């Protein structure tokens, strides 16, 4: 399942190789394009080629041959006409993204050409219930210097009001498709006071490796190693009574998943923290789910283009049989939602937190390059299957409703408290204060 992580099925070596090859081919060209303010006829032709490539992929591979009732040819013609009339590369690329967005599908989205720079706004945000809050602020960032704090509610971002329905679309636009040099935030502090602030992004140019210099390649290797470090499984415990497993993404290998289950067996109770987990590999999901059940369990049916296939776990030789609690929030998506819902349906444990993302489909990444002199890479995530749970329901656009709702308040975010984990521990008869819970597995910022 593809959920923002674009290399879910590749080995670490393959990811590194792909990253370096892409760097060699396109970064030097894109750097020149990125600095140019002129939108040329050649660039317009490139975007039209991207539109055609993406539209054809949808026709060939999208799981619903009826394309959700859309007149796809008419949508493509409309996008083509808008690209011809627009006067900037960003706006032209936005038309390609808008075409895929018309499918109203969490896993169908455009992957524009990689940019020669990265924007860091210095904060993260999170939907809690129906409100959007600043969840973390990077130390030393412009956001911190302007007084942005965890627990500030975001009323508007660049004039847009965050909602659950549009939150991921907003993140995609401002963090990925059309990153901005700065953002204007209308905020409400935990005490109710409102204010406006403008924060500037830290813009980092990506190392160019078109000359295959050793130093540039090692810079990129270190960047990938740092990213992998941040995605590692993390643990905290309270004696032999409780183990807390923080699962950032479903990316560990099958062997690593087995080691996690082995560690869990040493404890009476386990909390699986899937908050912020965007999904990952189907194989990892099946392996880990199999490790918490004594028998084979059906997850659901994979409904693809003209075929339906049952998805089941395989029994683990030595599964964890103790008490289990699963934590989720609005950023728990895809594979993490499937995990939580299976735990509910099989009455294996308790799910605590906020309603999940409702982004549960199976997709595949299709990549292409333009045939112009710039050899520009682009791609799209195309949904190839819906997942119907064992109760016959789909989680897409619905999400998982926790057994016990538990939402941190603005004051909890400001104070670094974690009442959700504390509530889970209490349910398992382990004493853990919200303050202690918040300090167990602190957030780690990327070194970049």
List the CATH number of the domain containing 140. 2.30.42.10
List, for residues 120-172, the tens digit of each pLDDT value.
999 999 999 999 999 999 999 999 999 999 999 999 999 999 999 999 999 99
**435 is written with which tokens?**
């303050």
Q: Same domain for 287 and 410? A: yes
Asked if the model's pLDDT at residue 30 lies above 50, the reply is: no
pLDDT tens per residue across span 205-227: 765 544 444 444 445 545 555 66
Look at residue 347 and tell me if it is in a domain.
Answer: yes
Partnered with residue 377 across adjacent β-strands are: 369
Same domain (yes/no): 282, 421: yes
pTM of the model: 0.86
Question: 429 with 330, same domain?
Answer: yes
pLDDT score recorded for residue 303: 95
356 and 413 fall within a common domain: yes
Q: Is residue 423 scored above 80 in pLDDT?
A: yes
Q: Which of 204, 239, 271 is the last residue of a domain?
A: 204
Q: Are residues 132 and 252 in the same domain?
A: no
- 298 within a domain of the structure (yes/no): yes
Q: List the domain range (segments joined by +) for residue 353.
A: 228-360+387-440
CATH number at residue 259: 3.90.226.10
Residue 166 forms part of a structural domain: yes
Arithmetic mean of pLDDT over the chain: 86
- The predicted model gives 91-108 an average pLDDT of 94
Q: How confident is residue 39, by pLDDT bands cut at 50, 70 and 90?
A: confident
How much is the average pLDDT of 260-282? 94
């Amino acid at each position: 399942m593809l959920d923002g992580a674009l290399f879910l099925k590749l080995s670490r070596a393959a990811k590194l190789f792909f990253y370096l090859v892409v760097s060699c081919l396109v970064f030097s060209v894109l750097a020149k394009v990125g600095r140019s303010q002129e939108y040329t006829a050649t660039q317009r032709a490139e975007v039209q080629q991207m539109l055609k490539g993406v539209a054809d992929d949808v026709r060939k591979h999208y799981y619903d041959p009826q394309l959700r009732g859309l007149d796809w040819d008419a949508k493509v013609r409309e996008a083509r006409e808008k690209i011809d009339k627009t006067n900037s590369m960003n706006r032209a690329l936005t038309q390609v993204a808008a075409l895929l967005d018309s499918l109203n599908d969490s896993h169908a989205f455009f992957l524009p050409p990689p940019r020669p720079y990265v924007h860091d706004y210095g904060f993260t945000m999170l939907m809690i219930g129906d409100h959007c809050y600043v969840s973390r602020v990077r130390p030393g960032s412009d956001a911190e210097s302007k007084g942005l704090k965890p627990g500030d509610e975001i009323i508007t971002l660049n004039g847009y009001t965050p909602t659950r329905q549009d939150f991921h679309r907003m993140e995609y636009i401002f963090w990925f498709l059309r990153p901005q040099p700065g953002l204007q935030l209308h905020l409400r502090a935990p005490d109710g006071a409102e204010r406006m602030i403008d924060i500037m992004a830290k813009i980092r140019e990506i190392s160019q490796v078109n000359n295959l210099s050793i130093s540039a390649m090692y810079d990129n290797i270190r960047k990938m190693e740092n990213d992998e470090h941040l995605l590692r499984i993390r643990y905290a415990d309270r004696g032999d009574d409780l183990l807390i497993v923080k699962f950032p993404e479903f990316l560990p290998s099958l062997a690593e998943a087995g080691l996690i289950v082995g560690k869990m067996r040493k404890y009476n109770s386990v909390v699986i923290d899937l908050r912020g987990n965007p999904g990952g590999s189907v194989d990892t999901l099946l392996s880990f789910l199999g490790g918490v059940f004594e028998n084979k369990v059906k997850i659901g049916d994979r409904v693809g283009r003209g075929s339906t296939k049952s998805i089941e776990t395989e029994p683990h030789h030595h599964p964890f049989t103790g008490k289990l609690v699963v934590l989720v929030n609005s950023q728990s998506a895809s594979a993490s939602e499937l995990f939580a819902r299976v735990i509910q349906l099989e009455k294996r444990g308790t799910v605590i937190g906020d309603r999940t993302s409702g982004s549960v489909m199976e997709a595949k990444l299709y990549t292409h390059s333009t045939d112009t002199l710039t050899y520009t890479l682009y791609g799209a995530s195309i949904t190839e299957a819906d997942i119907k749970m064992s109760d016959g329901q789909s989680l897409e656009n619905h999400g998982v409703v926790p057994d016990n709702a538990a939402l941190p308040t603005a004051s909890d975010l400001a104070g670094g408290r974690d009442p959700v984990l504390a509530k889970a521990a209490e349910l398992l008869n382990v004493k853990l204060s919200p303050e202690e819970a918040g300090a167990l597995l602190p957030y780690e910022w990327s070194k970049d």
